[in-house]
Amino acid sequence: MRVLVTGGAGFIGSHIVDALVARKHRVIVLDSLHPQIHPTGRRPAYLSAKAGFVRGDVRTRRILADLIPRVDAVIHQAARVGVGQSMYEINEYVDANTRGTALLLDVLTSVRNRVKKLLIASSMSIYGEGSYRCPSCGPVQVRDRREEDLKRRRFEPYCSRHRKILRWERTPETKSIVPTSIYASTKRDQEEMCLMIGRAYGIPTVAIRYFNVYGPRQALSNPYTGVLAIFGSRLLNDNPPLIFEDGGQARDFVHVRDIAAANLAALERAGADGCAVNCGTGRPVTVRQVAEDLARAMVKSIRPVLLGDFRVGDIRHCIADNREIRRRLGWTPRISWSNGLAEYAAYLRTQTAVDRVDNAIRELEQRRLRRKSSR
């Protein structure tokens, strides 16, 4: 197939390009090379030489109208991705993500083309908190944790009836959608718009809800990226990772090549057409464990600093229930945490990164998006 990958020069997009090229698909990348991710403004060296490349923004109708008639499938990865940043660059995030996708769909439905598959990068962030169960009353919906609780360092969600700490459970696709950031609400918009237009126009469409993706090429100097890249750039500069809350919050870290494999499966198979599917491992790793395991893998004896403070809108735990994607696409995560981390540490050793985390944290503080808890 001829495949258009928007955001194909980015962290996840470029791995999808590699997987497509390995399967002999022909690839065109559309990427704006945003300076926050690509400070040099040049086509990254890691991007497969076999991929065609167009520098441009998904918000340019002319470019989309030129590219879409030339492809059989569209894999839409282009997006602004900083959760914290989305809370103060609201217009830009909604414009790039929601309107960018609206324009893509507008062109897809108005220009003659033969596109037979549309994949959209969705996110676990749309769930807000993951699924929980109270030992006494069963499944409980957690909306927001209360600020008073977080200030008192009661980080674990609890049952308001029984005052018992809730147990997290794997989050299925049927869980209610409760975005807690502008970024998350744009991801929900993208997912809903693509599935809706796909259904209306008979374009097989799949939304893949990525959990916490990590791996080589994640932009290290971007302080708005995921925790692994942030801790990686801290450790690389011999600075301690800074941990919000008590470090007991758990996430589901899925390797970027497993994400690329899920995209390939959704492209080549029909099992998930019309659906939104989780893409995560189902295995929890706490943030404290991330800091410790990464330091060990990088052979640095640097202990993390527990800030105790919290970020507004952060969730406590969210781990994937991945039964749907296994059943529908035969996908299964192949890269274990220890192998993925060892490879990531080896990659980090080849990199230099400017550590801009202090700046980003200051920015959150100035905007009151980082709050202090009592000691």
- Nearest approach in angstroms of CB 81 to ligand UD1 is 5
- State the residue for tokens 């925790």: 227
3-class DSSP state of 80: coil
Q: How far is the CB of 127 from ligand UD1 (least distance, A)?
A: 7
Q: Which of 176, 173, 206, 210 is nearest to 191 (CA)?
A: 206
Match 């220009």 to its residue by tokens. Answer: 111
Give 296-324 as a DSSP string: HHTT---PPEE---EETT--SEE-B--HH
| Nearer Cβ to ligand UD1 (109/237) | 237
Q: Which two tokens stand for residue 49?
A: 């030489």
Q: Which is nearer to ligand UD1, 80 or 117 (CB)?
A: 80
Could you tell me the smallest distance in angstroms from the CB atom of residue 173 to ligand UD1? 15
Which residue, 25 or 80, has its beta carbon nearer to ligand UD1? 80
Distances (CA, A) of 183 to 125, 128, 224: 8, 11, 12
CA separation for the pair 356, 84 (Å, rounded): 14
Token readout for 248 is 């007991």
Three-state secondary-structure class, residue 226 = coil
In the complex, which residues of this chain contact ligand UD1 (CB under 6 A)?
A: 81, 83, 123-125, 181, 184, 212, 225-227, 230, 242-244, 249, 251, 287, 311, 314-315, 357
- Cβ nearer to ligand UD1, comparing 112 with 238: 238
**Of residues 352, 355, 275, 361, the one with CA closest to residue 311:** 361
Instruction: Identify whether 132 is a catalytic site residue.
Output: no
In the complex with ligand UD1, the residue whose CB is nearer, 204 or 355, is 355
Give least dist CB 304 to ligand UD1, A. 8
Tokens of 185: 């609400």
Rounded Cα distance, 239 and 357, in Å: 10
CB nearer to ligand UD1: give 170 or 251: 251
Smaller CB distance to ligand UD1: residue 159 or 285? 285
The length of the chain is 375
- b vs e for 196-233, b when ≥16 Cβ sit within 10 Å of the residue's Cβ? ebbeeeebbbbbbbbbbbbbbbbbbbbbbbbbbbbbbb
The pair of three-digit structure tokens given for residue 232, joined into one six-digit string: 């990686």
Catalytic residue among 93, 158, 183, 224: 183
Distance in Å, CB of 273 to ligand UD1, minimum? 24
Copy the structure tokens of residue 188: 């929900």
Q: How far is the CB of 291 from ligand UD1 (least distance, A)?
A: 8
Strands 370-371 and 310-311, by their bridges, are antiparallel
CB of 182 to ligand UD1, least distance (A): 10
Question: Distance between CA 127 and CA 173 in Å, rounded?
Answer: 9
- Euclidean distance between CA atoms 109 and 355, whole angstroms: 43
The residues carrying an active-site annotation are 183
